[in-house]
Chain A
Amino acid sequence: MSKPTDLVQGTLDLLILKILALEPLNGWAIGQRLKQVSDDVLQVSDGSLYPALHKLEQEGWITAEWKPSENNRRAKFYSLTRLGRKELEKEAANWNRLSAAISRVVKLKEA
């Protein structure tokens, strides 16, 4: 079984926060949405998604609520908190800086 592209450490948190910034979702939907928006490039294993979600919840960045889902079954919906929004801004800025730096390096022409 081929593993999906390994996510840079800590990036999963950023992705989850970003997705939840758009709308509250349940765990399964988060996983689906990740695949969708990244054109299946980013496949987060179902196994690592939940510990990450629980960690973010314990940090106070996201909060959970039980609500009926699309098929009318009870599911745990996560949404971003105010603290989470701040964290997202911080991490997004970090990411931008990092990726910009990396692309500059990658684009260097050999002398």
Chain B
Amino acid sequence: MPRSLGGREGSPFTGIGPVYVKELADHLSSVRMLVLTLFIIVFGAFPVASSLQQLRTTIGSDAYLFLRIFTIEPEQVPIPFVQALNFVIPLMAIGLGFDLVNSEFNRRTLSRVLSQPLYRDALLLGKFLAGLTTLAVALAALWLIVFGAGLLLLGLPPRGVEVARALGFLLVAVAYGGVWLAVAMFFSVVFRSTATSALSALGLWLFFFILWPLIAQAITRAFVPPEITSLDQYIGLQELALALQRLSPGTLFSEAVLALLNPETRTLGPMLPSQMRGAIMGAPLPLGQSLLLIWPQVTGLIAGMIVVFSASYVIFQREEVRA
């Protein structure tokens, strides 16, 4: 309702509370949630169990032992926990979000609900926040399970800085989930059919996971001159490749997580020898420096979430409520 936006009265947040509570209750009591939880536990528990087994042999030799649970690449299952999450979180978010809006159309409840005193803003935002909360609850549960398992099996309490880094990792994971939730919700606003919106969201997810790295490579290759004559040229190419890769939320997530969980990480881009001057190889960065390092990544994730949400918001405002 672009014409009326300027003059309408009443808060756009009227009614957001009831929508949020109802959606949250729906999510938490749904069979789908059960399936997703099962899914994430299977996906998460497997790598964690294997990495724990391996870590028990190296106790004592590592200052950030606890964080290794998340990042180590176990011998039996060559998927670290974070990489499993990189893959599973979008799936979970899509599972929660692909029918948020169009199911209301299909159940013909939308016009009835919108004829109550609330704006569309509140409906959309309430649904999104409820989905995000559900996602956060599931991820926090998983996080706690991993932490608990680590405590039990390693018999070693984590240090404060490790807890802080792991918490940061949880927040980044929620933000990453938020991006995909916004994407799923976007498709649920655009398409009336839930199957189409689920397929589109999954398609985009597969695209970013499988095709995008290849496409980014191909694009970079197209810019490679016949002969690389200077270091600047080389760095420029590297940066182009990285910039393209970073369009995928998955890349932002893995980079942010890498810096958080591997305190030794000093840069997320190409590194020049001049930058290495005076650095002690393998020495961990303080938490503040790591956070500074991933700031762009985290901002990027949150910005992506907001941009996609705004797009669905604009489309939803213009949509006719007639089924």
Q: Are these two chains actual partners, yes or no?
A: no
